[in-house]
Structure 1
């Protein structure tokens, strides 16, 4: 039976997922640009140009991808629901029988299963939801493509700017340039660990392990970018 109280929680969970993964992509991608630029011994102005160009272009690309994928998913689920409603109208006994058998397999006795199915069948939406859950594993919920795209873009941009913060400040306090990459690395590492810990809430794993995993992934990506930058910068 549909539980309306779960809908806001499910949607907020989807947005949290977009925030975490969008933020991780943003900060790792931007820090790789910073590390590659540092390895190639490029000026901090070039770092800012490359960093922000990459940040905005990739953020926009991810947002468009999220918008299109969510829109396509909504269209698919709407089509599936429509077909299922037609099937229920044309073959009500068969659909009720499948749902009743599913309940019996889950431990509900036959009498109660019949009562539940017959009661649900009086209400179109709850009945369709249960049949959809039986056949597809979950109720279909229509997400907002624009909201998902906006959350992804904002998360990518906000977290992605972290490795660039010290270079922005260095425009006004030049003395900071000497340790700019070290400071950028520290800020990025702390943010990566925090996002990894947040990710554990989405995938239900140990927060400490998840935090260090993200720190390791980000570090490896930056190392590769640094080595490539150093090699190309020496040519």
Structure 2
């Protein structure tokens, strides 16, 4: 029953008019990777601070100050880094596009030969190959975009640095704040606060892993536990570092 409904949905999706509509849309750059990156890093770094501070014997006030200061500063830093990275990808794409445009203008026959060899390598021969070359090189925009994809392996997705930066920062702050919430409740003891923080952080890691698997059609539990394991490893390292420093160095934990 499930296979039949899936097959019918795919048939509808692959009707000629639906295929044409889908292919005419310019591919969008994915925000999923930005959200996952920000969420995981926000939770890992914040809970690492919680673990290190608890291991060193610091008070709840110190944990909150360190945690929220890091949340904003590191979140902004990460957003800026992602902005620059996406902007660099966009600038590289535009640079290559300008280069190909200039090459087509200066040495069109050489660029046609590149198209010919690219599609010959895909198995096209003779008259069919020549029709493909004529069709592609007859449309200036298609010619350039074909070279970007086939020669340089560049995606046609639109790069939006500001949107990527905002997505990373938002996920970093929202998810990263979760492990700090138990330290806002004064009646709880420090061990209880830390235990609650650890549970919330683990839940965030697991949920992020599951959401990522839903987007990329991966096994839910495996992805959830994998992300949980990675985040938990970072927390254990931070706790051990804080504990060792507290044992080796005379630290005022008040």
Gap regions ≥5 residues in structure 2? 1-21
Q: Does 1:212 align with 2:221?
A: no
Aligned twin of 1:134: 150
2 CA distance for matches of 1:4 and 1:21? 30
Match of 1:155 among 171, 174, 186: 171
Following TM superposition, by how much is the alpha carbon of 1:100 offset from its aligned partner in structure 2, in angstroms?
2.1
Aligned twin of 2:27: 7
Gap regions ≥5 residues in structure 1? none
Q: Residue 124 and residue 156 in structure 1: after superposition, are their counterparts in 2 closer, same or farther (change >3 A)?
A: same
Given that residues 70 and 144 in structure 1 are in contact (C-alpha distance below 8 angstroms), is that contact kept between their aligned partners in structure 2? yes
Worse-superposed segment, 180-189 or 209-218: 209-218
Following TM superposition, by how much is the alpha carbon of 1:131 offset from its aligned partner in structure 2, in angstroms?
1.0
Following TM superposition, by how much is the alpha carbon of 1:4 offset from its aligned partner in structure 2, in angstroms?
3.5
- Pairing 1:69-88 to 2, within 5 Å after superposition: 69-88=85-104
Deviations 1:149-207 (A, max 9, x none): 11111111111111112223x15xx2475521111111111110122233446776544
- Pairing 1:173-192 to 2, within 5 Å after superposition: 174-175=187-188, 179-192=192-205
1 CA distance for matches of 2:194 and 2:79? 29
Given that residues 104 and 110 in structure 1 are in contact (C-alpha distance below 8 angstroms), is that contact kept between their aligned partners in structure 2? no
2 CA distance for matches of 1:50 and 1:215? 23
Q: TM-score, normalised by structure 2?
A: 0.81
Given that residues 27 and 156 in structure 2 are in contact (C-alpha distance below 8 angstroms), is that contact kept between their aligned partners in structure 1? no
Worse-superposed segment, 120-129 or 191-200: 191-200
- Pairing 1:105-144 to 2, within 5 Å after superposition: 105-144=121-160
Aligned twin of 2:16: none
1 CA distance for matches of 2:89 and 2:216? 21
Q: In structure 2, the residue corresponding to 1:94 is in which secondary structure?
A: helix
2 CA distance for matches of 1:155 and 1:201? 17
Q: Residue 204 and residue 98 in structure 1: after superposition, are their counterparts in 2 closer, same or farther (change >3 A)?
A: farther
1 CA distance for matches of 2:147 and 2:171? 36
Following TM superposition, by how much is the alpha carbon of 1:50 offset from its aligned partner in structure 2, in angstroms?
0.5
Following TM superposition, by how much is the alpha carbon of 1:62 offset from its aligned partner in structure 2, in angstroms?
0.6
2 CA distance for matches of 1:82 and 1:158? 40
